[in-house]
Structures are given as C-alpha cells and as structure tokens.
Structure 1
Amino acid sequence: MSDPADDLGRLLVPQPQTGLQTRSAQVDGVTDRGVNLRIGDELLLDIPCSEGYRNRAAGDWVAVTKSVRPVVVWRLGDDPGEATEDEVREIAADTASDLQVVRAVTWGTGAPSGTGWQAGTTVHARKNSAGKVELYVQLSAVTDTSPDVPPGRAPSPVTVTPNSSGSWRNGRPDDYANTPMQGDWTGGGNRRGGWFYGAKIASACAGKNVSSMTVAFTRTRGSGVNAKRPMHLYLHDYQSEPSGQLAVGDGPEELLQLSVGARGSATLPASWRTALASGTARGLAIYASGRTDYAGFTGGQITIRFSP
C-alpha cells in the first residue's frame, strides 16, 4: 500500500526529461543546406532537416529539436495528404498526355467477333501540333455515334536557363562580383545585375499560348545582412552581356524577399510575360541603391507554362 505523502513528493520533484524534446519555429527560407528558421527575433541559418520534412516552404511551422545541433524533424499543421493527391494526379495526367494509348489492337481475315463493330472503308491518320497521332475511320454507314474528340491538353511546361549572368558598376562590368548584385555596401557605387537568355524565351513561346512564367532565385551568402531583403527586379532587352552599362527597362517589381542562402520562386507579371514571350524584352535584371537592400542572387531559371 502506497504512502500518500510519498506519492505527492514524487509528483512535486522535477523528473528528468526523456525522449525527443522539440520546440516550434517558423521557416524563414529554404536553402540548399536545410532551412533558415525564425524563433522570436532570432534568425537561425541553414538548420538541417530530416527526410520526413518534405515539400519545404517559407512560412511553414515546424518542430525543431532542442539540442546543441538542432534538426527540423517534421512540419506542424494540417494533413498534407489531400494536397499531395492533387499533385500526384496532375503529374499522372501530364505523363499520360505524353503516351499514345489504344486499348487493344487485333486483326484477322474475318470480321471481328462481338457487337458494336462498324465497318471502315478508309483509315485517315495525322500528327497534331503536339506531336500526337490522331486516327479517323471513314465508315460506309454509321450504326453508333462517334465518341467526342478529347479536349486538347496544353503543351508541357518548359524551363529556360540563362546563358550567362553578371554584375555592373559605374557603367561597366564589375570585375569584383561573380554573381548578379544590387545596391552598394562599401560606397563604391550601386551595383546592378542581369540574367541573359539569348532568344531562348521567345523561341520556347513561339506558336503557343503562354499562361504563366515563374522565375527561381537563390540569395547568395555573404552579401549584406542575413535577414530577408527584397529583389528589385527589372526587365532588360539584351540577348547577351553588354560591354558598357546594363540599362534596365520596366520595373522595379519586388516579387521575392529572401534571407541569405534561401531560394524562392515568383510568378512574373502578365505584362512582363507578354514582353518576354514576344521578344520585346529579353531577360531580367536587378538594381537597388545604397546598403539597405544590398544583396546578391543566383539562379534565374524561368519555367513557362502554356494553355491549350
């Protein structure tokens, strides 16, 4: 029989913690080494993640271990199953559109067995604009209505990578910056950066209906403060790097804010999409003044999606 006083004493004395101890934190940005975490006013850089934390994104609330070397172990929030199912269905539909599908092909010297067959007098074939084979059977008499023509699917997305990139300062290429930069950290003059695609963007869009363009960037480490800074994005009309000043066009648009090492993507405005697709603009640039938004960025891959 237990002693009530002993039982109360055991409850009041702190017990050693066992098992995995975690605390919650919010993802400030996704990097190539893990994630940047925001805990209160503190920004923790490049925290590694377990394999269980997938589809990482800025803004996620996650559980991170309480240890000398913290690790993100899982995402907090709703069950992602429904969103995952939608993604799988989209991938499956896109994959199926690349296949030629006929349920069965048989032949013989006599008429086919079973009901519903119609005698064809001529078979017509063609390849459509998407490279898919279409068959049309010309009948001597119609005994059953023809199925509807399946709706056309949009061409598969295309990702265009820059041919080159660089940084400019004081009206000439900047020999001291190996990635596109914006702003001025040391007082030597404001930097501007650019990504150059030749004619690849317009060529990828020729003859197609462009529905969106999404661009991806990564903020370089060692450029400015660690906290998030906006990209000041512009258009330019160069196919390759100019020998003099890089002149910028429409802008600025602040589509992304990234902490150091973080990567992100943003959808370009409709007017920019039209200009790039038509070739009246050729690429993207960044420019800022002073120290506040001084930063460097890499990437520049543009993913183009189409409508039927």
Structure 2
Amino acid sequence: MTGAARDLGRQLDTGGGASLGGAIVSAQVDDVTESGRVNLTLDGVLQLEVPCADSYRDRKAGDWVAVRTGARPVVVWRLGDDPGDESADEIREIAADVAGDMIPVSAYTWGTGAPAGAGWQEVTTLWTRADANGTGQLYAQVATAVPSPDPPATRPPKTVAVTATDSGSWRNGRPDEYASVPMQGDWTGGGARRGGWFYGSKIATACAGKTVASMTVAFSRKTGSGVNGKRPLHLYLHGYTAPPSGQLSLGDGPEELLRLSVGAKGTATLPAAWRTALASGSARGLAIYTTGSADYMGVTGGTITIKFSA
C-alpha cells in the first residue's frame, strides 16, 4: 500500500465520510467474486460479496480500496497510483497486435471510368471467407488470366480459450452422484472427494504445430462449501479425455497455484512442465484432490487459456 493511500485512509477514517452514512476506511481486496463484487476483511472479519461503485473497474485481488462502513459495507473507490500509464501500455500492445494482422493498402480511390496507368485488372466477382485461423480473406475473380500474386501469410491466433467438455467428482473410487460440481476434501467423514475437468483432445489439437508461451486456467469457488476464508486448490494433471466410470486416477501434482475465498474467482498459471504435457497430449485435463475438511470446497470453471509465441 502506498504512503498516499495510507494517509488518505487515515484522513477519511477520522470523519471525512460521515456524510455518506458511515466512516470511510481503507481495506485490501481478498478476492473478486463471480458476481463482480469483492470479498475483503474489515476489523478482522471476512466480508463476503461487498458491492462496489461502478467507477471501481478492473477489480482484482490485492487492490487497496476505500470502504464505506455500516450495516452493509460498500467499496466507493480504489486507492493508489493512477492506472492510466498501465492502461495505455495495454492499448498499445493490442493495437500493435491488430496491426500485425492487417494487409496494407497503398491507396483507395474510385471513379466512373477505368483507372489510369498500367497493370490494372477488372474484377468481375469478389469473394470473401474466413480462413482456418478466423482471419478474413478476399479473392477477386478477374476478367483476364493475369498471374495472381502469392497470398499473404496469415498468422495463427495468439490466444485460444479451451472450455471443458465435461466435469465431475469422484468419491470412494467411483463417480459421486451427490456432487454437482468438482470438489476436493471431506467435510462429513464420508470419504475424500476429487474433482476433474475433461477436454477431450481439444488442448493438444489447439497446440499442434505451435509454440506455447503460457497456459492459464480460470476457476470459481462455489458458495456453501467449506469455510469462508481463502483456501488453496490442490491441483493435479490427469490423462482422461472423458470422465471414467471408475476411480479418477491422478497424475502430476499437487500444485497449490491458487487460493480462493467463498464465491471468488481467480486465474492460475500452469507450470511449464504441465503446459508441455497438455500440449503434447501426454496429459489431458486437470483435477483437484485433498483429504480432510480444512481445504474442502466445490469449484467451477476450468477454462484454459493458451497463448502462443509462434
């Protein structure tokens, strides 16, 4: 937290927010929830699903915010440095990426007569399509058989999001019909649950012939499962393209890449060895598993975002 943010929090806490119906205090966001609200701690108590002013954008865990206290706390704004420079860099990166996919046109003119100069061809029919990478293409059918230039190279997509085709939970060596989402741990003593996400062959197919720069996976923690505070997901790889009828056997792991409080969403970066295994097809999906009640939770999501460097 910056010194300016601390000073502002102290000043507001001395009464600057009284006209708003409660004192204004500073707090740090624990998690952002699926609803877009936040979980944060006030006076040692975890507050769930705290609503936020519309002006508080790009919400993320770790933000320092000004909170109006009262019977129902409300986040009124974010504290800290001006995010303008960071946003400008992101915009430049996106613009450069888009420009790289464009084919330059030196001039675009029109008229009622034929164009002046040599080399022009009359277009009788114009065709368009999206290629295998989703890039728009134009093809001109011309009146005379003049050799066509080589088509410009198109770049493969730099990012692909792969969603799970199926998911589920297993308990005592078989599918758990009582669990509606993938779960980890044992809350009641009936046996430790393990959950899994299945992608068929979609991950390896998306990565074929490309160089993978990174893989991230997005999860959300289900409300009403386990304690409210932040707990880790115990992540594993598995080798199944579809849910097994017997036990879900686990591969490499566990990795504690992400901690979530109840109702929160988050993104974890997969280790390099894991993305290599998933890209090659030696691993097919992700799973969660632990014993005991300390880290018991239900988890949804599982979308894997793959970024390519070539």
> TM-score, length-normalised on structure 1?
0.80
Matches within 5 A, 1:70-81: 70-81=73-84
Matches within 5 A, 1:1-308: 18-20=18-20, 21-33=23-35, 34-105=37-108, 110-111=116-117, 155-308=157-310
- CA distance in 1 between counterparts of 2:193 and 2:109 reads 68
Give the 3-state SS of the residue equivalent to 1:91 in structure 2.
Answer: helix
Whether the aligned pair in 2 keeps the contact of 1:23 and 1:66 (CA below 8 Å) is yes
Question: Post-superposition shift, 1:110?
Answer: 4.8
Superposition CA RMSD, Å: 2.7
Cα deviations by residue, 1:96-149 (Å, 9 ceiling, x for unpaired): 33433313146966548xxxxxx99xxxxxxx996688xxxxxxxxxxxxxxxx
- CA distance in 1 between counterparts of 2:116 and 2:84 reads 52
- CA distance in 2 between counterparts of 1:273 and 1:18 reads 52
- CA distance in 2 between counterparts of 1:111 and 1:284 reads 62
Whether the aligned pair in 1 keeps the contact of 2:65 and 2:78 (CA below 8 Å) is yes
Whether the aligned pair in 2 keeps the contact of 1:258 and 1:264 (CA below 8 Å) is yes
Question: Post-superposition shift, 1:18?
Answer: 4.8
Whether the aligned pair in 2 keeps the contact of 1:236 and 1:281 (CA below 8 Å) is yes
Report percent identity of matched pairs.
64
Q: Which moved more, 1:25-34 or 1:64-73?
A: 64-73
- CA distance in 1 between counterparts of 2:188 and 2:96 reads 52
Is there any run of 5+ residues in structure 1 with no aligned partner, and where?
1-13, 113-118, 121-127, 134-149
Letter in 2 for 1:182: Q
- CA distance in 2 between counterparts of 1:254 and 1:153 reads 35
Question: Post-superposition shift, 1:177?
Answer: 0.5
Give the 3-state SS of the residue equivalent to 1:82 in structure 2.
Answer: helix
- CA distance in 1 between counterparts of 2:63 and 2:308 reads 29
Question: Post-superposition shift, 1:16?
Answer: 11
Indicate how the Cα distance of structure 1 residues 206 and 65 shifts in structure 2: closer, same or farther if over 3 A, else same.
same
Whether the aligned pair in 2 keeps the contact of 1:159 and 1:303 (CA below 8 Å) is yes
Q: Which moved more, 1:153-162 or 1:29-38?
A: 153-162
Indicate how the Cα distance of structure 1 residues 106 and 278 shifts in structure 2: closer, same or farther if over 3 A, else same.
same
Indicate how the Cα distance of structure 1 residues 93 and 153 shifts in structure 2: closer, same or farther if over 3 A, else same.
farther
Indicate how the Cα distance of structure 1 residues 16 and 271 shifts in structure 2: closer, same or farther if over 3 A, else same.
closer
- CA distance in 2 between counterparts of 1:245 and 1:155 reads 37
> TM-score, length-normalised on structure 2?
0.79
Bigger radius of gyration, 1 or 2? Answer: 1
- CA distance in 1 between counterparts of 2:287 and 2:295 reads 15
Question: Post-superposition shift, 1:94?
Answer: 2.8
- CA distance in 1 between counterparts of 2:187 and 2:116 reads 84
